[in-house]
């Protein structure tokens, strides 16, 4: 669940920085995309290309963040392999005893 939350927040932050970069370099006119979303008098104008770019960046990076974190951080059972986990007992009682233990 944290992977999804981190990915959504990461996509949100990158979309906000994209909106700021578009405004700062005078590529687009108007407010940041989030101000249009939270404004009482305005709504998010989907006909504005800058808002669509920010929403697209948000969506693409959120979804890709979920897939990247699952593949890099061992989200699948195949990635873990035979490595011990936190619940693996330190002493295996079923293992054959050596001569020193007998």
Spatial separation of the C-alpha atoms in residues 73 and 68, rounded to whole Å: 8
Residue 28 has which token pair? 């687009």
Q: Could you tell me the pTM of the whole model?
A: 0.57
Kindly report, residue by residue over 23-51, the tens digit of the pLDDT: 888 777 666 766 666 666 666 667 778 87
Kindly report, residue by residue over 72-95, the tens digit of the pLDDT: 765 555 555 567 677 777 776 776
Alpha-helix runs per DSSP H in the chain: 2-24, 33-38, 49-72, 77-80
What is the CA angle 36-40-42, rounded to 5? 40
> For position 27, what pLDDT does the model report?
75
Rg of the Cα atoms in the chain = 24
């Amino acid at each position: 669940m944290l992977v999804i939350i981190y990915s959504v927040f990461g996509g949100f932050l990158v979309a906000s920085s994209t909106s700021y970069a578009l405004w700062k370099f005078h590529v687009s006119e108007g407010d940041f995309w989030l101000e249009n979303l939270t404004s009482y008098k305005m709504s998010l104008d989907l006909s504005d290309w800058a808002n669509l770019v920010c929403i697209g960046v948000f969506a693409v990076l959120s979804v890709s963040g979920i897939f990247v974190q699952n593949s890099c951080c061992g989200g699948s059972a195949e990635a873990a392999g035979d490595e011990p986990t936190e619940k693996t007992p330190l002493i295996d009682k079923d293992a054959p005893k050596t001569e020193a233990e007998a």
